[in-house]
Structure 1
């Protein structure tokens, strides 16, 4: 249940284009069919401090570097293995931080893996 709550909160943040289409009255299928997922979406790592807290300063620094590369978008909390080590609040905050720092037009995908520690 813990993972489902976090994923629900994250899902609301990620696909502005998808949700915008849904709010305009398009069905979920129609909105998804208009979403162009072609391109490269690298899974980015969530950096941590020596005290095992999320290093938001380093994350911002990394995102500035990623912005210079013509990726179509980014995958946050994808396949790098940090997901089970984040609290529900950290999971949502990391996605928010990436969304705020991503250039307009870049798509953001959020992973929802629920491995156990």
Structure 2
């Protein structure tokens, strides 16, 4: 039997289980995705991925410095992320329900931020 696909979202650290990750166009919150992918990022969508490490990067790059990784259930039509370099990993949806919250240690946030700066991301 095939394992169920798990989806993750990395971003703002203030959500709890059962709440919804909503798109930046609705919340008016600054979006990390806006900076690196301004030309293709749809702020009326929520981005989720099947790779927890990918979500971790976005959690670490959240402007608050206190981002979290969420395991989520995508709500609405799940469409491939047009900016994704690898197909089948990143998707966009209308919103996502939080199923589980993963705290990201401050040391990890700082390490990922340093690596991103070194890579010129």
Q: Please, what TM-score do these two structures have when normalized by structure 1?
A: 0.30
Higher CA-based Rg:
1
Q: Please, what TM-score do these two structures have when normalized by structure 2?
A: 0.29
